[in-house]
Amino acid sequence: MQTHEIRRRFLDHFARAGHTEVPSASLILADPNLLFVNSGMVQFVPFYTGEQTPPWATATSVQKCVRTVDIENVGITTRHNTFFQMAGNFSFGDYFKREAISLAWSLLTSSVKEGGYGMDPEKLWATVYLDDDEAVEMWLETGVPLERIQRRGKADNYWSMGIPGPCGTSSEIYFDRGPEYGVAGGPEADEDRYIEIWNLVFMQFIRGEGIGKDDYEIVGRLPRKNIDTGMGVERVAFLLQGVDNVYETDLCRPIIDKAEELTGRSYGVVHADDVRFRIVADHSRTVSMLISAGVNPGNDGRGYVLRRLLRRIVRSARLLGAEKPVMAELMSVVSAQLAPSYPELATDFSRIETVAVGEEIAFLKTLNTGSALFDNTAAAVKAKGSAVIAGADAFTLHDTYGFPIDLTLEMAAEAGLSVDERGFRALMAEQRERAKEDARSRKHAHIDLSIYKELVDRGATEFTGFDELTSEAKVLALIADGVRVPVATAGQDVEVILDRSPLYAESGGQIADRGSITGAGLKLTVNDVQKIAKKLWVHKTTVEQGQITEGDVVQAQADPAWRRGATQGHSGTHMVHAALRQILGPNAVQAGSMNKPGYLRFDFNWQGQLSEQQKADIEAVSNDAVGANFPVNTFVTDLTRAKEMGAMALFGENYGDEVRVVEIGGPFSIELCGGTHVQYSSQIGPITVLGESSVGSGIRRVEAFVGLDSYRHLAKERALLAGVASSLKVPTDEVPARVEQLVERLKVAEKELERTTMAAVLSSAGSFVDTAERVGAVLLVAVAAPEGMPTGDLRTLATDIRSRFGGEPAIVVLLGNADGKVPFVVTVNKSAQDLGFKAGDLVASFGPSIAGRGGGKPEMAQGAGTDPSGIAAGLAAVRTWVAESA
C-alpha cells in the first residue's frame, strides 16, 4: 500500500466517523517553545487548554512534522525521521478512551476492501499506563488478550509537550515484526521487533514545571477530557510495504536510488555507507519541506537547523564518493515523490532548488577551505613528532570552520594520523549541554491567554478601518497586569477590548495604528494594537484623563496622519515586491516585510548581491507604477480562486478559506493582504530605494522611503551634493566626473607610494644578508623586521634575501611588529630543503614564544602571533632549533 493511500485511508476513516478533516498546519507556528511543529496536536493546543473554543467537536488531520533533537542518530536507527507525517484524530470534550481505542483498532484491522489497513490482529500489542485498569478493560473488549497488554511507567505511557501544559495517560499500539527482528516478550522486551505505530493520549490533566519525561507533577485538570492520537505514517508504510525500515518505503527509497546513481556506491553493502545513504534520504525530504515553509539557511534558530541538514547531506554524499553537486537532483526526486500530498513542493520547486543549491555551493567552498586548514594542522602535528590530532583542533575545524568530523577522521587516516575522538566528543558534549541549558532557560509554558477566551468566544472584533477612521464602540473589557478590571483611571496603562475598532492591529508586516479613545471627560492614547487568536483586537493604551469603565460607549479614532503614512508604506511595499519580481524573476519571493509611515523594508529570497543597475531598475519600475496612477482594488474571495488569479501569498502563513486580495494595476501586483492601502498608486508618492543588504544566507533586504519621507531624503541628498560641488568648485552635474578624476589621481599616488616603499624595503635586503650566521651547513638570517612592516612586504623582503644566497643552503626568518601583532615569514631555499629543513617545522620552534601559529609549504610559511614581547626569545629559539637540526 503506497504512502499516499495510507494517508487518504486514515482521513477517510475518521471522516466517516464524523470528524472534520483539518489541513496540516505550517511547519512554523507562532509558538515560542517550538522551532518547528513536532506533533499532530500542536495546532490544537489552544482548544485543549481552554483558551479558545474549537469550531468542531472532533477533527482529523495528517500533520507534517520536523524533529531534530536526535539528528546525530538519523540513519543509525532505522525507524526515525527528521521529517515525518503524523496522522491523528482529536476529540475536544466529545468522546474519550473507549471510542479512541475502537476507532484505531478498526482502521488497523479492517480489511483493505473495507477501507482499512488489513493488519493481522494477532501481531498487535497494546501498552497502557501503570494504573489505567479502564484502558486494559477496553483493550480486552476489542479482543486483544491480556498477555499482549503491557503496563508501563510515566516515561513511556504518560504524554506531555515537555513543558507546563496539557498532559495525560496514553496507550500505545505496537506491531510485532516477528522473531527474525528480535526477542519475544512484547515492547518491554524489544522495541526493534515490536514497533510502535500509534499513540492514543487520554488528555485530561495539566502538568507543572520539570525536566524529562517523568520529572514533573500533575497540578490540575483540563476543563474537559480530550483525545489526541498520533499514527506514524512512515512507520505504518514500511510495515504495510513489507520492507525492513522507513528508508526503504516508496517515498524514501527513490532518493537512495538517486544517491547511488550520483555516488557510484550501492546501498545494502557496507553499514557505514548505508547510514550515509539514509542521512541523504531523510534530510533531503526535511530540507525540501523546510524551504517550502519559508525557512532559509542561517546561523541560528530555524536557519541553522536547515543549514546543518543541508551540510550533512553534502558531507554524506562526498563521503560516498560524489564528486559533483547533488542537491538539484535530490530536490527533484523529493518533489516527485511528495508533491501528490504536498503540491507546494512542485509549484515552488524553482525556489527550493535555488536555495538548496546555493547553500551546497557555499559549503563546498567551506570544505575546500577546511581541507587547507586540516593540512596545516596535520603538518604541525607531524612537526612535533606526534601522530594524534588533538580533540581541540578537530573541534575548532568542526565548530569554527564547519569542517565535518567524519572528513577529519578520514583525512587523518590517509595522512597516517589519528584523532583524539574522546577529546573531540567531550568538547561537543559541552557545547550541546550549553545549548540545552540555553534552550531550557528560554523554554517556558504557553502564554496564558485564557483571560481572553470568553471575549474570543463572543466573536471577532469588527474592524471598521477600511471605511472610516473614527467609530463608535462599546468597551467589552479592560485588562490591567493580566487581570480583568471594571475601571481604569488617569495615569494607568490598560488593555481595552472594543466590539469594533477603526485602528489597524499589527499584522502582515504593517505596524499597528496609533490613535485615541475618547468619551465624556475621557481620553486614552492608543500606543499599540495587537490581535489575539487572529480575531480579537487588544488596544494597549494609557489613560490620559478621566476614567474608563467596562460597558462605556466611546469614540475610537486612528490618527489620520499616521494612517495616511501607513497606507503609503504598505502600498509601496507591494510596488517594490512587484518590481523585484519583474526585474529578478519569480524566484524573488517575499521572506518578510515591515512597513510604517514613510518607510518600508522588504526581505526576499535571493542568492547574491544586487547590482547598482538592478537597484536602479527596481526603483524606476516602482515609480513608474506610482506615476501610472493605478487603481487599488480590494475584494474577498476563496483561497483557491485567489491562487488561480495568481495572488502572491507569504510562505509559512496559514490562510483561512476566505482571503482578502489587494490588486494594484491589474496584473502588475496582486497579493493576499489584510492591510490598509491607498486608493490610487499615485498617492504613495515617490519611492526612494535606500539600499540593499544581506540579512542571512539566501535572504536579501531592500529598504526604501515613500511619500514625504522620500522627498525629505532626496532634499538632504541634494544639499549634500551641492556642498560637494561647492568644495570642488564645479557645477553639480560635473561632480561625478570630478570625483572620478580625483579617485584616479589618488590611485596613481598610492601606486607611486607603494613603489617607493617597496624600493626602500628591497634596499634593506643587503643589510639583512650581512647578518647571516653560519649554523652547520646552512646560512641563517633570523631577525626582527622594521616595526610596522605588513606581511606582504615581509614576504617580498624574505624572498629577496633568500635569492641573494644563490645555491648555498639558506634559511630566512623575519618576525615583524605591527599594531601589537607579530606577523612572520619563514622561507627555505631548495638547497636547505634538500638537507631536511622545512618552513613549517621552523614555525613550531618559535611559535610558542610569540603566541603564534601559521603554516604553508616546505619553501615558505607565514602567520602571526599576539605577543611582541617574545620576539627576542623566538629568534633565539630558531637559532637553537637550527643548530640542533643541522
* pLDDT tens column, 710-742: 999 989 988 998 998 999 999 988 888 988 999
More confident residue, 871 or 753: 871
More confident residue, 166 or 503: 503
pLDDT, residue 651, reads 58
More confident residue, 414 or 709: 709
Is the pLDDT score of 435 beyond 80?
no
Report the distance separating Cα 43 and Cα 228, nearest Å.
12
More confident residue, 312 or 122: 122
More confident residue, 318 or 431: 318
More confident residue, 553 or 759: 553
Residue 249 and residue 241 in contact, taking contact as beta carbons nearer than 8 Å? yes
Residue 494 and residue 488 in contact, taking contact as beta carbons nearer than 8 Å? yes
pLDDT, residue 886, reads 72
The annotation places the binding site at: 570, 574, 673, 677
pLDDT, residue 510, reads 94
Is the pLDDT score of 657 beyond 80?
no
pLDDT, residue 195, reads 94
pLDDT, residue 32, reads 60
Instruction: Quickly state the pLDDT bin for 351 (edges 50, 70, 90).
Output: confident
Residue 276 and residue 316 in contact, taking contact as beta carbons nearer than 8 Å? yes
Is the pLDDT score of 574 beyond 90?
yes
304-318, 423-437, 642-656 — which one is most confidently predicted on average? Answer: 304-318
Instruction: Quickly state the pLDDT bin for 444 (edges 50, 70, 90).
Output: very low
Instruction: Quickly state the pLDDT bin for 437 (edges 50, 70, 90).
Output: low
Residue 370 and residue 403 in contact, taking contact as beta carbons nearer than 8 Å? yes
Mean pLDDT of 485-512: 94
> Within the chain, how many helices (H) and strands (E) appear?
26, 35
Q: What percent of the chain has pLDDT over 90?
A: 59
Instruction: Quickly state the pLDDT bin for 77 (edges 50, 70, 90).
Output: confident
Is the pLDDT score of 31 beyond 70?
no
Q: Using alpha carbons only, how large is the chain's radius of gyration in Å?
A: 34
In this structure, what DSSP letter does residue 39 have?
S
Is the pLDDT score of 788 beyond 70?
yes
Look over the chain and give the mean of its residue pLDDT values, rounded to a whole number.
89
Is the pLDDT score of 757 beyond 70?
no
Residue with cell 514625504: 708
Instruction: Quickly state the pLDDT bin for 405 (edges 50, 70, 90).
Output: confident
Mean pLDDT of 657-678: 91
Is the pLDDT score of 441 beyond 60?
no
Instruction: Quickly state the pLDDT bin for 446 (edges 50, 70, 90).
Output: very low
Instruction: Quickly state the pLDDT bin for 443 (edges 50, 70, 90).
Output: very low
Question: What is the three-class DSSP state of 239?
Answer: helix
Instruction: Quickly state the pLDDT bin for 697 (edges 50, 70, 90).
Output: low
Cell output for 193: 521487533
**pTM flag (> 0.85):** no
Mean pLDDT of 752-768: 74
Is the pLDDT score of 519 beyond 90?
yes
Is the pLDDT score of 81 beyond 50?
yes
Closest by CA to 356, choosing from 335, 331, 319, 334, is 331
Residue 771 and residue 784 in contact, taking contact as beta carbons nearer than 8 Å? no
Instruction: Quickly state the pLDDT bin for 442 (edges 50, 70, 90).
Output: very low
Cell output for 238: 514500511
Q: Which residues contact 335 (CB under 8 A, 6 or more apart)?
A: 288, 345, 346, 349, 352
Give the sign of the dihedral formed by CA 306, CA 307, CA 308, CA 311: positive
Residue 86 and residue 65 in contact, taking contact as beta carbons nearer than 8 Å? yes
Instruction: Quickly state the pLDDT bin for 565 (edges 50, 70, 90).
Output: very high
Report the distance separating Cα 238 and Cα 90, nearest Å.
25
Burial of 540 from C-beta contacts in 10 A (0-12 / 13-18 / 19+)? middle
The annotation places the binding site for Zn(2+) at: 570, 574, 673, 677
Cell output for 260: 547511488
